[in-house]
Amino acid sequence: MKNKEAKTPDTKEKLSEELSRLRNRLAQLEELKTKQKWPEKDARLQKFAIRSTPTAISFADMEGYLTYVNPAFLSLWGYREEEEVLGKHTLEFWADSRKSEEVMEIGEKDESWSGELLACREDGSVFNVEVTANVIRDEEEKPVALMFYFRDITKRVETQKELEETLSELKRSNRELEQFAYVASHDLQEPLRMISSFTRLLEKRYGDRLDDDAREFIDFAVDGATRMQKLVSDLLQYSRITTRGEELKPISADLALGRARTNLAVAIEENGGTVTSDDLPKVYADESQLVSLFQNLIQNALKFRGEAEPRVNVSAEEIEDEWRFSVSDNGLGIEPQYRERIFGIFERLQGREKHGGTGIGLALCRRIVNRHGGRIWVESRLGEGSTFYFTIPKRGGHKR
């Protein structure tokens, strides 16, 4: 009885240890089973992703014969079932033979390829695709298959073609504009000079026989011819902003403003005006056009002066990647509803009888600023003057 009771603890311990080992083994087996299932689960997920992606995908063996295509591939090429395409050679689906052969060389060259191809649908229609081709390798890094990604870029190619056609049309229009400018500067100017000259000659030779009405009529004719000459000249200058502009390069805005002041010296003096300026920076610009820009804005301030003597100040401020210039005056000011309209060609807020000019000056300013890649606008209070702002990028404009 005593011996039997002495053996009982040892037996229980052995049974407990054996049970623990069994549990550990079961846990290891379960873990191994789970690990073995994950690759299968990953493969199912990958296959689901390939089937559900909107990107057309195909697999081929190293010879180029299709082994798998996803639904997006079938839809893009116009097929219904995989059986219609599997086993066919990849080249049968492409219309660009030279590039197609280049793509198929990736297996031999052991490299990927990406680019654009012409593809051929089941109904024979041709479309543009962007292709990425890669070599698939096994665990031993041995090439076993080819994988292709396709994206339909037909709309993009058509849009690009339309843009090229538009650009070609714009170039043609520019050539016609240059031809018009040539005609305007020669064929139109000469008859106007003849009208003005012979009308004055008529007045000089037969002046003693003309009454006051006749002399007034002659003045009207000469004035009309002169204004027409000025209008043609301004139109010519306007048309040449982009076609005859010089290269944008670093220039001193101070020197450009100085030239504009010199050109307007007589007008400034006649109006009792003063033109001041702060220190102006160097900018990337067409020097002659920048001079013209300053000149037109200052001339505008002199023309639309108030009762007081004209005061004009030019300054510049650095703002991020551009310079913002301002040309301020103490003139008549501009009503809010006209602040955009004044930059249109031939737009005039005052009658020609009160203020001369052709109505092209501010339109010319906008065209110059646009060519330099900047913006121009005006802020004004009626009766208190105006400030015209324009910007010039620090590192050159767009030459638009």
Considering the domain architecture, whether residues 225 and 272 belong to the same structural domain is answered as no
Q: Which residues, other chains included, contact 224 with Cβ-Cβ below 8 Å and sequence gap of 6+?
A: none
296/340 same-domain check: yes
Per-residue pLDDT of the chain (400 residues; tens, 9 = 90+): 444 444 455 665 766 666 666 666 666 656 655 555 445 555 566 666 778 888 899 999 988 899 999 999 999 999 999 899 999 999 889 887 777 878 888 767 767 888 888 999 999 899 999 999 988 888 888 888 899 999 999 999 999 999 999 988 888 887 777 777 667 666 777 787 888 888 888 888 887 888 888 888 888 888 888 777 777 777 777 767 766 678 889 999 999 999 999 999 999 999 999 999 999 999 999 998 999 999 999 998 998 888 889 999 999 999 988 999 999 999 888 877 777 788 876 555 554 444 445 568 888 899 899 989 999 999 988 888 899 999 999 875 444 3
Closest CA to 152 of 174, 173, 177, 125: 125
Q: Are residues 357 and 261 in the same domain?
A: yes
Name the pairing type of β-strands 66-69 and 56-60: antiparallel
Give the position of tokens 């030459």: 399
- The boundaries of the domain holding residue 17 are 1-52
Q: Which two tokens stand for residue 297?
A: 């804005």
pLDDT for 44 equals: 65
- Give residue 77's pLDDT: 92
Q: What is the pLDDT of residue 4?
A: 44
Clarify whether residues 338 and 396 are in a common domain.
Answer: yes
Question: How far is the CA of 236 from the CAs of 122, 222, 239, 240, in angstroms?
Answer: 57, 21, 5, 6
Name the domain count of the chain: 4
Provide the pairing of β-strand 311-319 with 274-277.
parallel
Considering the domain architecture, whether residues 276 and 396 belong to the same structural domain is answered as: yes
Q: For residue 282, what are the CA distances in angstroms to 46, 315, 318, 351? A: 60, 13, 11, 38
Nearest partner of 298 among 310, 286, 316, judged by Cα = 310
- 239 and 252 part of one domain: no
397 & 252 share domain:
yes
CA gap 360, 346 in Å, rounded = 5
Q: Tell me which amino acid residue 333 is.
A: G
| pLDDT at res. 358 | 59
